[in-house]
Amino acid sequence: MSRTYNIINEIEKQAGSIKKPIVFIGSFTGSANVRMGYVIFEHDRWNIPENMLYGGRIIGFMRQLGYEIQGVTSEADLSKAKYESHNMPSYPKEGAIRVFDNFCIVKLGEISN
């Protein structure tokens, strides 16, 4: 769960709050030893590849922890997020979380087209 708290804290630090919709991009390639983090951050990305731009399970988990966050639903914002993520490093590197006018990107890893 520390991964979740670290992501939320970084978004709050950059944006001032977690009110903007969030898009999680790619598949996290970290250690699968922490079962909770593995399931939440990787499950859909491996089993449902088209969900590389969708954060439903991750956002649902964060809501269960008490965070009132929303996912990005606009196709235009999803397209922009995909484009902008190409030059971003993957989490947990600095720059893997970016705040834009309409949304925030958390790049967990590379995405397949």
- Scanning the structure block, which residue is given the tokens 């951050």? 41
**Residue 28 belongs to what domain range?**
2-107
Instruction: Give yes or no for residue 35 having a pLDDT over 50.
Output: no
Confidence band, pLDDT 50/70/90 cuts, at residue 31: low
Quick one: average pLDDT of 63-81? 90
Q: How many CB atoms lie within 10 A of CB 29?
A: 14
Instruction: Give yes or no for residue 104 having a pLDDT over 50.
Output: yes
Q: Confirm whether 42 is domain-assigned.
A: yes
Measuring CA to CA, which residue among 109, 110, 111, 106 is closest to residue 14?
Answer: 106
Q: What's the whole-model pTM score?
A: 0.81
The count of domains in the chain is 1
Q: Which pLDDT value is given to residue 47?
A: 52
77-99 pLDDT tens trace: 988 998 999 999 999 999 999 99
Q: Confirm whether 36 is domain-assigned.
A: yes
- What is the residue-averaged pLDDT of the chain? 80
Q: How many CB atoms lie within 10 A of CB 30?
A: 16
C-alpha 110/C-alpha 13 separation (Å) is 24
Residue 64 in 3-state DSSP?
A: helix
Partners of 99 in beta bridges: 104
Q: Confirm whether 65 is domain-assigned.
A: yes
Work out the angle at residue 4's Cα, subtended by the Cα atoms of residues 54 and 49, and round it to the nearest 5 degrees.
25
Q: Which pLDDT value is given to residue 40?
A: 61
Q: Confirm whether 27 is domain-assigned.
A: yes
Q: Confirm whether 112 is domain-assigned.
A: no
Output the CA torsion sign for 93, 66, 20, 75. Answer: positive
Q: Confirm whether 54 is domain-assigned.
A: yes
Q: Confirm whether 29 is domain-assigned.
A: yes
Do 62 and 69 contact (CB within 8 A), yes or no?
Answer: yes
Q: Confirm whether 113 is domain-assigned.
A: no
